[in-house]
A and B are shown apart, each in its own frame.
Chain A
């Protein structure tokens, strides 16, 4: 069986990729996609540790994280659509002001 360490290493690599995406991409949607990548990396680690300890609690936490991600995506994309209607852009550099 593949040891837990390999899964954790893969999870770390995916998390770092997601972090690079959040730092370098400039449209709100692309930043959002990168955040989803980071969430999935964390999920891999949770499932790997659940298997290592023989405890289904970790898997249940992943289930709840998935639900949260679905809610987050629904609200986040709605906010992006609302901003796009008002400003006609989703470039985060242009959305730096708090006014309006």
Chain B
């Protein structure tokens, strides 16, 4: 168990370092995918089986695909080479992050488990969908419904935000070239119906 934790933890930290240090945005996103998968494994090791599955499906699956899609759509995978306007920001952030991480680690090891861990694992009942659903639909009913409304609003908002302005009378939308500056036309030519949708 300890070996699994050390392996998954080390991989998660490596993925995190790739995420914040990679010059190419696609590499950074793939580093984050690695971290998310490792976090899913850590959830499984903490007897949160439903969350582990959700982590892989929703986070590493859906959310990261959305990220990669937008990175490739915007051609944003080239790094910014100009000088940072804030002086010494990298050094200061590095020092601050190290201090924060050190403080967290020191604080964490002052934490004493309130009860034997075996009792805790029994209490969360292996974190199955049954246990989660019971909590979600009793004590967490209001947040659950609020979150479902939030998701609906987010869907409508996302569609409204990325909607193209209405096409001009000659049928050419003036944003087409701006959106895809250097992508080959053959790859991105959609059927007419889908473009207007």
Contact = CB atoms under 8 A, between A and B. Distances in A.
B108 A5 contact: yes
A51 B1 contact: no
B67 A27 contact: no
A40 B147 CA distance: 18
A74 B16 contact: no
A55 B158 contact: no
Contacts of A5: 108-111
Interface string B29-68: 1001001100100110111101100110011001100110
Contacts of B117: 1, 3-4, 51-52
B105 A13 contact: yes
Contacts of A11: 104, 108
Contact of B48 (A32, A59, A64, A81): A59
Contact of B135 (A51, A57, A74, A81): A57
Interface string A44-59: 1001101111111101
A95 interface: no
A60 B101 contact: no
Contact of A33 (B19, B45, B158): B19
Given A12-B105, A70-B63, A30 B28 contact: yes
Interface residues of A, number: 73
Q: Is the interface of A mostly helix, strand, loop or mixed?
A: helix
A22 B89 CA distance: 11
Given A1-B118, A70-B62, A78-B162, A13 B104 contact: yes
A39 to B, nearest CB: 9
Interface of B: 1-2, 5, 9, 12-13, 16-17, 19-20, 25, 28-29, 32, 35-36, 39, 42-43, 45-48, 50-51, 54-55, 58-59, 62-63, 66-67, 70-71, 73-74, 76, 80, 84-85, 89-90, 92-94, 96-98, 100-101, 103-105, 107-111, 113-115, 117-125, 127, 131-132, 134-136, 139-140, 143-144, 147, 150-151, 153-155, 157-158, 161-162, 175, 178-179, 181
Given A16-B98, A16-B100, A74-B154, 7 more contacts: A4-B117, A11-B108, A14-B35, A29-B25, A51-B46, A56-B123, A71-B153
Interface of A: 1-21, 23-27, 29-30, 32-34, 36-37, 40, 43-44, 47-48, 50-57, 59-60, 62-64, 66-75, 77-82, 84-85, 88, 90-91, 93
